[in-house]
Amino acid sequence: MERKKTRRIMVGSVPIGDGAPVAVQSMTVNDTRNIPATLEEIQKLASVGCEIIRLAVVDMEAAEAVGKIRKQSPIPVIADIHFDYHLALKVLEGGVDAIRINPGNIGSQEKVRAIVDRMKDKGLPIRIGVNAGSLERDLLEQYGHPVPEAMVESALRHVQLLEKEGFYDIKISLKASNVPDTIDAYTLMSERCDYPLHIGVSEAGPLLSGTVKSAVGLGYLLAHGIGDTIRVSLAADPVEEVKVAWGILKSLNLRQRGVNVIACPTCGRLEIDVVGIAQRVEERLAHIKETMDVSILGCVVNGIGEGKEADLGIAGGQGVGIYFENGEVVKKIKDTDIEEFIIQQVEARAQNMRDGKIP
C-alpha cells in the first residue's frame, strides 16, 4: 500500500505525515475545566492506544486548564478552539502541543499573526478543521450545498491565511457526516496540497453504524494512501473510538498493536461458546500492547487448521478445548476453564515478549 507523500509535522513527540505511522487520536468528553476527570479519561484512552488527545477549550478557565492537564498527560495535547483567538493565546502561555483553529474565523490577519508568531517561536503545528456543517456563506451560495469542492476551497482559504504569515506547520481535516463526501473531499485535497491530513467521518453515529461508516470511509482513504492521523467519531465512549481506529489500521496492516482475536462465525459443529469467550477475551486483553494472534474456534474439524497461523488458540472438543501454540496441539483444557486459561497464556506470552524471551 503506497502512502501519499506529505509534509512532516510533530504533535509533541508524535510525528505526523511523511511516512510516519498513522497516529490514533481522540477527544475527551469530560469538561476540560474538570482537570482530574479529564486526566483520568486521558489515562484510560492512552491505555487502549490513543496517541494524541484533543480538548475542547470553551472559555478562559478551560484554556488555563489545558497547560495543567498537559503537564500530567501521558500523550500530546491539542487545544480545540473556535473563533476566540484570546483562548489560543492563553493556551499557548500555559503550554500545549498543537492548536486546532480556523484562522478565517478569528476576525483579522493581525489576530492570525499574533497566534502564528507564537506558534512559530514554539515550533507548534496548527490543525485546520473544516466541517461540512459550518462552511462560509459565500461558498454555500456558490456551490448550493456543502459539497467536497466547497470544503476543499474553504480549507485552502484558511491555509492561505497561514501561508501569508510564512507558516507551514499545518494539518488539515475535512469532515462530512456521509462517507462518499468524506472520501471525495480528502481525495481532492490530497491532490491539491501535501499537508498531512487528519481523516475522519464526522458525527458517524452510534457504535455499530458509526463503526461501519468509519471503517468504510477511512478504510477506503487509507487503502489509497491518504491519511496521516485518524479520529473515529462515535456517539459512544471515546475508548470505543480508539479501539475502532486501531481495528481499521490493523485490518489494513498499517499498524500492529495488541491481541488480534480470530474467532470463527460458528456453525452446527460448534462445541464451545465461541461468541462469549471471544468477546470476553478481547475485552479483558485490551490493555495488552504486544502483538499476537489468538484463535478461538468452535470445533476441531476445521479449527486447528484454521488457527494454524495464530500464535496460540483453542479449538472446541466435547467438553474440552484443544489448546495449540504455533499450530501444534499442546494440551486439553476443561471447557469451563478455557477463558481463564487463554487469558493466562496471553499475559505470560506478553510478559515474555517484554522480557525479550520471545521476539
Taking contact as CB under 6 A, which single stretch among the options 30-38, 142-150, 180-188, 302-310 is the one that binds ligand SF4?
Answer: 302-310
Q: Which residues are annotated as a binding site for [4Fe-4S] cluster?
A: 264, 267, 299, 306
By CB under 6 A, tell whether 298 contacts ligand SF4. Answer: yes
The residue whose Cβ lies closest to ligand SF4 is 298
> Residues of 262-275 as b/e, b for ≥16 C-beta within 10 angstroms?
bbbebeeeebbbbe
Residue from 123, 166, 265, 359 in contact with ligand SF4 (CB under 6 A): 265
By CB under 6 A, tell whether 264 contacts ligand SF4. Answer: yes
In the bound state with ligand SF4, the residue whose beta carbon lies nearer, of 286 and 301, is 301
CB of 317 to ligand SF4, least distance (A): 11
Q: How many CA atoms lie within 13 A of 161 on its CB side?
A: 24
Give me 344's grid cell.
Answer: 493466562
User: 80, 27 in Cβ contact below 8 A?
Assistant: yes
How many residues belong to the site for ligand SF4 (CB under 6 A)?
Answer: 13
Three-state secondary structure call for residue 258: coil
DSSP string, 292-306: EEEEEES-TTTHHHH
In the bound state with ligand SF4, the residue whose beta carbon lies nearer, of 269 and 354, is 269
Give me 135's grid cell.
Answer: 462552511
Residue from 148, 227, 303, 313 in contact with ligand SF4 (CB under 6 A): 303
By CB under 6 A, tell whether 302 contacts ligand SF4. Answer: yes
User: 260, 294 in Cβ contact below 8 A?
Assistant: yes
By CB under 6 A, tell whether 101 contacts ligand SF4. Answer: no
In the bound state with ligand SF4, the residue whose beta carbon lies nearer, of 187 and 302, is 302
- One character per residue 268-297, x = contact with ligand SF4 (rule: CB under 6 A): -xx--------------------------x
CB of 272 to ligand SF4, least distance (A): 9
Q: Which residues are annotated as a binding site?
A: 264, 267, 299, 306
By CB under 6 A, tell whether 266 contacts ligand SF4. Answer: yes
CA dihedral 251, 257, 261, 262 (to 10 degrees): 40
In the bound state with ligand SF4, the residue whose beta carbon lies nearer, of 52 and 297, is 297
DSSP string, 135-156: --HHHHHHHSS--HHHHHHHHH
By CB under 6 A, tell whether 123 contacts ligand SF4. Answer: no
Q: Alpha carbon 146 to chain centroid distance? A: 25
Strand partners, 260: 293
Q: Please tell me the distance from the alpha carbon of residue 176 to that of residue 154, in angstroms, as a whole number.
A: 13
Q: Please tell me the distance from the alpha carbon of residue 350 to that of residue 259, in angstroms, as a whole number.
A: 10
Binding site for ligand SF4 (CB under 6 A): 264-267, 269-270, 297-299, 301-303, 306
